[in-house]
Structure 1
Amino acid sequence: MGRVLGVSLGLLMVVAGGLWTFQSFGWLGTMAEGDVRATLGPALAGLGVALVYVAVRGQR
């Protein structure tokens, strides 16, 4: 995977995960299935951070 694609996808995952998390806690409006999003949001954001780290670090 290219570095730019990896960083872009990782940042998108972080933003989406943060959005789901904040919505599930009611900080950015309300959303149905809040319990599921409260679990999936941080997991998605964490995977996004890991993807950005791997993409930036690159092959050694």
Structure 2
Amino acid sequence: MSHTISPSIDPASHLSRVRERAPLVHNITNLVAMNTMANVLLAIGAPPADGVALRGRLRLEITDAT
């Protein structure tokens, strides 16, 4: 099975737009995946806001990319 990217979809231009806009991404994960996902989002230029549920309350952590 061969996968091809449609000529109308340009991943580089989409990544470029994400980096230009730097959208704050609300990322709800478990504690195991939180750091990895935060690093992935930072690498593509989208600062993460990680939500973690602890004892029934949500704690929000916003990672500063600077």
TM-score grouping bracket, smaller chain normalisation: 0.3 to 0.5
Give the alignment's TM-score, normalised by structure 1: 0.36
Larger strand fraction of residues = 2
Give the alignment's TM-score, normalised by structure 2: 0.34
Larger helix fraction of residues = 1
Identify the structure with bigger relative contact order (alpha carbons < 8 Å, sequence gap 6+).
1
State the structure with more CA Rg: 2
